[in-house]
Amino acid sequence: MLATWLYPALSATAVVTGCIDAIAGGGGLIMMPALLFAGLPPHMALGTNKVQSACGTGMAAWRYLRAGLFGLKANLPMAMVVFVGAAAGSLVIQHFKPDMLRLIVPLLLMAVALYTIVSPRMTDDDRHVRVSAKGFVPVAFGTGFCDGFFGPGAGQFYATTLVALRGLGLTRATGLTKFYNVLSNIASILAFAWGGHIYWLLGLCMAAGSMAGSWIGSHFATRLGAKLIRPVLVVCSLGLTARLLWGWFHP
């Protein structure tokens, strides 16, 4: 039985994480430690977090879609690849500990932050496509698997690879990232629900906060574009790196 005060406290926290996620991803930097601090077992924390995250990213994706930053039909096949990868990752994590990814992900996030800082491609201008849609399938599946298996950092990986490999401008990449996130979160919810690892009432209360925060974040992101998304992406990547490394050396 969860304490009653946790419901409004974690719902308020979800407003902040939803806003951060809508702009650059990385809301798990705050939400997962909050859920674990509240006393949720790790697998219950992961599953419950996916419920609020799916609703928040759904709101953000809808806002980006209405702004004309991506299309559903053209991107649905790749989103289904993400869905399958996330489902596989979520099933696997229920039987294993993600210790190896806790060490690998910080290194990848540092690379994301460095690329975001130095690359001239991290603007709102579309550029040359370096990898075809078929060539991007393993990247989409792998990132979806990472999202389902571990979670933190997936949004940054989606956005950065879409810019670097698929040639999208940063704001368009961020919008498409939210669409992918919705599918990966739904896949994870199904997998965690199958395993009985979700506190549904808490997840839905947090979802209301996450949707409010996502509306705010996506509102500013669609208006300000890369000049807002780029610094927030760097800060979130470095912050998540520090948090994961701290958790590795101080479990």
pLDDT tens digits for range 95-134: 766 565 556 666 666 776 676 666 666 677 778 888 998 9
Q: Is residue 74 part of a domain?
A: yes
Classify residue 37: in a domain, yes or no. Answer: yes
| pLDDT over 60 (residue 251) | no
Number of domains in the chain: 1
Tokens 């951060």 found at: 20
**Given this model, what pLDDT does residue 100 score?**
59
Give the residue among 29, 8, 61 at the shortest CA–CA distance from 174: 61
Query: Residue 244's pLDDT band (boundaries 50, 70, 90)?
Result: low
Token digits of residue 222: 């669609």
**More reliable by pLDDT, 130 or 208:** 208
Q: Domain of 109?
A: 8-249
Give the other-Cβ count within 10 Å of 29's Cβ. 22
Note the pLDDT of residue 155.
79
Q: Where are the alpha helices (DSSP H) in the chain?
A: 6-24, 28-37, 42-66, 72-93, 99-118, 133-149, 154-164, 170-194, 200-224, 226-249
pLDDT at 119: 63
Please provide the average confidence, as pLDDT, over all residues in the chain. Answer: 84
| pLDDT of 9 over the 70 cut | yes
3 in any annotated domain = no
Q: Is-above-0.75 flag for pTM? A: yes
Q: Is residue 108 part of a domain?
A: yes
Rounded to a whole number of angstroms, the CA Rg of the chain reads 17
pLDDT at 79: 94
Determine the angle formed by the axes of helices 226-249 and 170-194, rounding to 10 degrees. 40
Judge whether 16 lies within some domain: yes
> Residue 187 — very low, low, confident or very high, per pLDDT cuts 50/70/90?
very high
User: CA-CA distance, 239 to 233, in Å (whole number)?
Assistant: 10
Report the Cα–Cα distance between both ends of the chain, in Å, rounded.
Answer: 25
> Sign of the C-alpha dihedral, residues 14, 106, 162, 119?
positive
Average pLDDT over residues 157-165: 87
Q: How confident is the model at residue 35 (pLDDT cuts 50, 70, 90)?
A: confident
Q: Which residue has the higher pLDDT, 75 or 30?
A: 75
2 domain residue, yes or no: no
- State residue 250's pLDDT score: 58
| 43: its two tokens | 């697998």
Least confident residue range of 27-31, 85-89, 91-95, 113-117: 113-117
Whether residue 41 lies inside any domain: the answer is: yes
Length of the chain: 251
* The pLDDT value given to residue 22: 85
Q: Is-contact 160 167, C-beta < 8 A? A: no
Quick check: 185 and 25 in contact, CB under 8 A?
A: no
pLDDT band at 224 (very low <50, low <70, confident <90, very high): confident
Assess whether pLDDT exceeds 70 at residue 205: yes
Please answer whether residues 177 and 155 qualify as being in contact, where contact means their C-beta atoms are separated by less than 8 angstroms.
yes
- Residue 247, pLDDT above cutoff 70: no
Supply the pLDDT for residue 27. Answer: 77
Least Cα distance to 52 among 169, 165, 192 occurs for 192
Q: 88: which 2 tokens?
A: 């596989």
> What's the farthest any 2 CA atoms get from each other in the chain?
54
What pLDDT, on a 0 to 100 scale, did the predictor assign at position 39? 85
Q: Is residue 1 part of a domain?
A: no
Percent of the chain with pLDDT over 90: 38
Q: How far is CA 207 from CA 185, 196, 233, in A?
A: 12, 19, 23
